[in-house]
Structure 1
């Protein structure tokens, strides 16, 4: 049996605010946006990779203390930090370098979910 991670779902309060963060600020492409059972849904990410599914108005939005985070690879953590500063997106934690081959930091999305930006050397 072959198994592949297709998407990760975040239940968000405001889809437009989340799209502003993930699409407009971080640059994730919107693959599709639709309504299902009265809920607005957007799928973001690059083709052939794990997607991020955002569902608006769900009754249970995770608290940031839940331990859930999403990690994205960046080419340069320095460039990412410059872009974050230019966009006034605060760094929540980091940068951290647990070994010579990995550096990362965390930012928060509009619902408080932690988003890790990591650079592998």
Structure 2
């Protein structure tokens, strides 16, 4: 069995696409209408067999709530370099950086309040 994607409900699809595109370099692989008021965009990179992010926007329901215990994580080569990128885009660090034996990580919030972690394996 293979994990395919994570679905994220968003308030504004264009804003969320810009966030994941500009910060993480993800590309819109598919974008389509999924019924009245509902639009979906799948984001990833050009590498096949990669886990995707599915962004779902429903103009009939703009309420989006995420628990602080829910997050998505991305591997980075350097936490320090990613911190510089985040700071250059005026995105506040939500928490961290933290260090554990063999790893470093920190967390920001996406435009919808979802925790996004950046993880460096040492």
Does residue 80 of the first structure (1) align with residue 82 of the second (2)?
yes
2: CA distance, partners of 1:30 / 1:104? 26
> CA offsets per residue over residues 11-50 of structure 1, 9 Å max, x none?
1111011111111222112211111113111101123111
Does residue 45 of the first structure (1) align with residue 49 of the second (2)?
no
Find the counterpart in structure 2 of residue 70 from structure 1: 72
RMSD: 1.6
TM-score, structure 1 as length reference? 0.89
Unpaired runs of at least 5, structure 1: none
Equivalences for residues 91-102 of structure 1 within 5 A? 91-99=93-101, 101-102=102-103
Find the counterpart in structure 2 of residue 89 from structure 1: 91
Does residue 15 of the first structure (1) align with residue 13 of the second (2)?
yes
2: CA distance, partners of 1:37 / 1:67? 31
Find the counterpart in structure 1 of residue 120 from structure 2: 119
> CA offsets per residue over residues 97-119 of structure 1, 9 Å max, x none?
121x1100000001100000000
TM-score, structure 2 as length reference? 0.89
Q: What is the CA-CA distance between 1:62 and the residue it aligns to? A: 4.6
Count of residue pairs brought into register by the alignment: 118
Structure 1 runs, 4 residues or longer, greater than 6 Å off: none
